[in-house]
Amino acid sequence: MLHLYVIGFIFIVVGCSQSTEEQQFIASVNEMFEAEEQYRESQKELQELEGEEQLLLQQTLSLQPVDELEIERNVEQLKQSVKARQVLIKEERQTMERAKKSMKRFQQLQANVKEGRKQLELFNEKIGERYLTHEQLMDAYEVYMKEQQNLYELLAEEQLEWQILEVQVGMVNDKRAYVVELIEKFNEITAQLSSLQQIVLPNLSD
């Protein structure tokens, strides 16, 4: 099962004693955090679907040719599960695209601050890297789902050739490995951003 629930930003509380730049930075971070709310919810649903789908696939692979009707029912459920994940991925793309627009606020702040500009510049670069990695992740995940669909189509064939099935399983595993690699990269960048928040804030002052 893929662990797709990724690390999120830390929601920051605004304090009365903070400078204007600090307050602007905090407001921008919180805006991005809130904009990604639907994305975080999608990750939970994706995990659940992925887990249920993997269990059903293992059950289907253990069936014998004489269990034709059960195989057909299972394959149909597997296909529906992929379609449900495709909808979630589409929604996630849209959510992250909207959240990406909050980058402009950080860029504007960077242009105006006198102190902490270098740290803020690094923060902005990491945000851009994070959203680019997410786009790559979504592309890779869609390819992964396509190979899963191809696998399920093979399972539905009356005269299934195990050699061909093994090749397709290998393709699915390869695509999955790349998805996991991108997830780890995305999580690492997000964790770096969470840490950078604590470095940027003390360096912002009027």
What is the tens place of the pLDDT at every residue in 134-151? 999 999 999 999 999 999
Question: Cα separation of 154 and 148, whole Å?
Answer: 10
Residues 93 and 108: beta-carbon distance below 8 Å = no
Residues 63 and 70: beta-carbon distance below 8 Å = yes
Residue 144 CB contacts under 8 Å (≥ 6 apart), including other chains: 172, 175, 176, 178, 179
Amino acid at 48: E
pLDDT, residue 204, reads 67
pLDDT, residue 18, reads 57
Low-confidence ranges of the chain (pLDDT < 50): 1, 3-8, 11-17
pLDDT, residue 34, reads 84
Distances (CA, A) of 17 to 99, 114, 205: 28, 19, 11
Residues 183 and 4: beta-carbon distance below 8 Å = yes
Among 136, 145, 134, 176, CA closest to 6: 134
- pTM for the structure as a whole: 0.86
- 7: three-class secondary structure by DSSP: coil
